[in-house]
Amino acid sequence: MSRRVLLSIAVLAAASAAPWVVSNPSRQNFLILAMMTAQLAVAWNILGGYAGQVSFGHAAFYGLGAYTSSVLLIQFGLSPWIGILAGGVLAMLFALLIGWPCFKLKGHYFAIATIAVAEIVQVIFTNWRAVGGAVGLYLPLREEGLKAFVFHASKLPYYYIALGLLVLTLLVSQTIERSFLGHYFRAIKDEPEAARSLGVNLTRYKLVAIAASSFLTAAGGTLYAQKELFIDPGSVMATSLSVKIALASILGGVGSLFGPVIGAGILTGIEEVTRQFFGGSGRGTDLILYGMIILAVAVYYPHGVIGGFKAWSQRRAARARSGSTG
């Protein structure tokens, strides 16, 4: 236990110091993107990994967060720091609203329902001219600084905000994992019938999971909006985004605390590398590589990287035990 704490502190320290070592803004940007994806993956994991309700529609929460804070900023001049909370609350309310009927569905039906809901939200925003419609929204970029939540001169503020949000999300995730909620979630995921027979109200706890998950995801959406300063339905509500954050979690190891972070790091890294070195040709070689890597991991490391690591360390421990008698 304490080893985990020490490791966490070490990683946090390294992450905080990283931008001073990695001075190239493009590489800093890569780290920021990785952290943003990681934050989304950890948030997703609360619902999809711990509670076992696999959602492929999280982009709806992300987009709602991004649009809420942006519209409040553009039309009412509301500070994005308040907007980020407003977005989170709105997304949470929406999540509860659709969660309540949808949690009646199981397995694949639920997954496709989440896609359906997210796509409907995207269609609505694409046709809603008052919030930009298909044209999207440009966020004001003249004002700069902490108050405005816009930074031009350096990437560092974005870096630390992304890191802070990631740490916050991890803390929430860990708190849930360790609390009675964590137990109930695991029960809902692995043995729903047994849990129900013991009097656990499945729907109530699934709603708790989706509330936390959606709030945090929406916060990530606001960060995206403030960083890129332009949003449109295609960039913040697309199903491909939902699938990507689910994938990051799965790749790293669903149902573990740091799995999603590792998965996000790997996924972002693969995307960057394949695009940089193979993307320019236009022949699709980066896609081929990306696909093969996903396949390899999916087939040979079905419990994700964390699972593979656990298996490896177990084998090592077993070998050490048998070795000491040999």
Partner 1 sequence: MKRGLGRLLSAILVFIGGAPAAPAGEEVKIGAIYPLTGAAASTGLELKNAVELAAEMINHGAQGLNLPLAGNAGLPGLKGAKIRLVFGDHQSNPQIGATEAERLITQEKVVALIGCYASNVTATASQVAERYGVPFLNPDSSSATLTQRNFKWFFRTTPHDELFVRNFFVFLKALETKRGIRPKRIALMNENTLWGTETTKLEEKLAKEQGYNIVETVIYPAKSTQLTSEVQRLKASSPDLLMQSSYLGDAILSIKSYQELGFTPQAILANDAGFNDSEFLRTLGKAGNYVLSREVWALDLTSRNPLIKQVNDIYFKRFKTNFNGNSARAFTGLYTLAEAINRAGSTQPEAMRKALTETNIGGDKLIMPWQGIKFDATGQNTLGSGIIVQVQHGKYVTVWPFELASADVIWPMPAWDKR
Partner 2 sequence: MSVEIVLQTLLSGLLIGLVYALVAVGLTMIFGVMDIVNFAHGEFLMFGMYASFWLFSLYKLDPLFTLPLTALLLFALGAAVYQTVVRRIIHASMLSQIFTTFGLMILFRGIAQFLWKPDFRSIDNSLVSGAVRLGALQFGLPQIVAGAGAILATALIWWFLDRTRLGVALEATAADREAAQLMGIPVQRMFTIAWGIAAACAGIAGGLLSTFYPVFPEVGANFILIAFVVVALGGFGSVTGAFLAGIIVGLVEVVGGFLIGPQLKLALVLLLYLLVVLLRPQGLLGRA
What residue ranges bind partner 2 (CB under 8 A)?
54, 101-102, 104-109, 111-113, 115-117, 119-120, 123-124, 126-127, 239, 243, 247, 250-251, 254, 282-295, 297-299, 302-303
**Residues in 8-27 at the binding interface with partner 1, rule: CB under 8 A:** 24-27
Judged by beta carbon, residue 102 or residue 267, the one nearer partner 1 is: 267
- Residue whose structure tokens are 């009097």: 199
Q: Which does 277 bind (CB under 5 to 8 A by kind): partner 1, partner 2, none?
A: none
Q: Which amino acid is at 30?
A: F
Judged by beta carbon, residue 85 or residue 294, the one nearer partner 2 is: 294
Residue 32-71 contact track with partner 1, rule CB under 8 A, x = bound: -x--------------------------------------
| Cα–Cα distance measured from residue 201 to residue 208, given in angstroms and rounded to the nearest whole number | 11
Q: Which does 101 bind (CB under 5 to 8 A by kind): partner 1, partner 2, none?
A: partner 2
**Residues in 217-236 at the binding interface with partner 1, rule: CB under 8 A:** 224, 228-230, 232, 234-235
Q: Closest separation between CB of residue 120 and partner 1, Å?
A: 12
Q: Which amino acid is at 305?
A: V
For residue 230, what are the β-bridge partners?
Answer: 138
Judged by beta carbon, residue 71 or residue 98, the one nearer partner 2 is: 98
Phi, psi for 301 (deg, rounded to 5): -130, 65
Q: Which does 230 bind (CB under 5 to 8 A by kind): partner 2, partner 1, none?
A: partner 1
Q: Which of 101, 107, 269, 284 binds partner 1 (CB under 8 A)?
A: 284
CB-based contacts of 230, cutoff 8 Å, min separation 6? 136, 137, 138, 139
| Cα–Cα distance measured from residue 227 to residue 139, given in angstroms and rounded to the nearest whole number | 10
Phi, psi for 302 (deg, rounded to 5): -60, -20
138 near partner 1, rule: CB under 8 A:
yes
Q: Which does 239 bind (CB under 5 to 8 A by kind): partner 2, partner 1, none?
A: partner 2
Judged by beta carbon, residue 51 or residue 102, the one nearer partner 2 is: 102
Q: Where does the chain have alpha helices with state H?
A: 2-21, 25-45, 59-76, 80-102, 107-127, 156-178, 180-190, 192-197, 202-228, 233-236, 239-252, 259-278, 285-300, 304-325
Q: Closest separation between CB of residue 81 and partner 2, Å?
A: 33
DSSP conformation letters of 12-61? HHHHHHHHHH---HHHHHHHHHHHHHHHHHHHHHIIIIIS----S-THHH
Judged by beta carbon, residue 196 or residue 303, the one nearer partner 2 is: 303
- Residue 148's CB is within 10 A of a number of other CB atoms, namely 17
Q: Could you tell me the two tokens for 283?
A: 């022949």
Total residues in contact with partner 1, by rule CB under 8 A: 38
Judged by beta carbon, residue 158 or residue 185, the one nearer partner 2 is: 185
Q: Which does 279 bind (CB under 5 to 8 A by kind): partner 2, partner 1, none?
A: partner 1
